[in-house]
Amino acid sequence: MIKRLVLTVVILLGCVLSTSCMTNISDKPVSVGSQLTSGAPIYTQTCATKSCHGAQGEGIHSSSGFRIWPLIGDDFQTRHPNAQIIFDVIRSGGERNLLALTDQQIYDAIAYELDQNQIALDSPLTADNAYKTFGGKMSGKVQGGLFPPSDNTLLTAPHPTRDLPIAAQNRSLRFQLDQIAQAASIGNNQGTYLILVITFSDLEDDPIIVSPEFMMLSTPEDEFLSPLSSDIHSAIEKFHTQTIKPQHGTVGLVVFSLPTPDGFDQLIYDDGIGDRLTLALKP
């Protein structure tokens, strides 16, 4: 699901802002059927349209391929190996309408999209099972890759890492790593780069500010690296400072310049007020 999918949220904006529609919008669906019913209007009325991804979700063609990628078929499925990657692409967008939706509402829309791809769900799609939900041409495999693919990044064989996803949480915040890849070049810049896709979720009742300035990568020599400002082309937006609301999260892409291909150890998020979260990246 490409960035244009964020437009799917428009249909729900009136409902989200209406008190009559606000009841239990964050509740997990009780069945696959009820989830598909909830997700259908988001997908069909604002995403699968002639002005967006095509009236049947078939995408918008250009002379060199797709100007807007499709939401159904082999191309969509191979670019998104599991349902969490689809969520990451959508949730990384900063459009106001998208930010009005809870994480679960986005999973509901994805469930309907998977149904349109003839991918049947055994249980409702949630944050707990999205990473292991796939079918059709979706491989389920993301280790060492970058999805959807970047057209200006040269990936290299990655150093072994722990199986994904990797997560940690405290009372207020959940911090998860969904993708990890290494590259020899990004755009015109050559070097050794570690590319990460991270997800945050607000677990408390108050908004939380998240920012790349609180993030660092440790090396085996106990040095600490800060994120780069890179020109990587990705359907997932770069992580930036923002405020997330309860029942909402954010997704971002982070790049570090490594001293050596093996020069990473832990990904650390520390906002300085006792909420330090650490992800051990190596086995």
Instruction: Report which DSSP code applies to 231.
Output: -
For the ranges 52-66, 124-138, 239-253, which has the lowest average pLDDT? 52-66
Q: What is the mean pLDDT of the chain?
A: 85
Pairing of the two strands 189-202 and 249-257: antiparallel
Tokens coding 6: 């964020």
Q: Residue 84 above 50 pLDDT?
A: yes
* CATH for the 153-280 domain, from 3.40.50.11740, 2.60.40.1240, 2.40.110.10, 2.130.10.10: 2.60.40.1240
Q: What is the pLDDT of residues 25-71, one digit of tens each?
A: 557 899 999 999 999 887 776 654 555 555 455 555 565 665 565 77
Range list of β-strands (E), the chain: 60-62, 65-68, 153-156, 166-169, 173-186, 189-202, 208-210, 215-218, 224-225, 242-244, 249-257, 266-269, 277-280
Instruction: Show me where the domains of the chain are located.
Output: 3-132, 153-280
Q: How many helices and strands, by DSSP H and E, does the chain display?
A: 6, 13
Q: Residue 247 above 90 pLDDT?
A: yes
Bigger pLDDT: 64 or 107?
Answer: 107
Q: Residue 241 above 90 pLDDT?
A: yes
Q: What is the pLDDT of residues 140-184, one digit of tens each?
A: 999 999 999 999 999 999 899 999 999 999 999 999 999 999 999
The Cβ of residue 91 has, within 10 Å, a number of other Cβ atoms equal to: 27
Backbone phi, psi, residue 3, to 5°:
-55, -30
Q: Looking at residue 229, what is its pLDDT?
A: 92
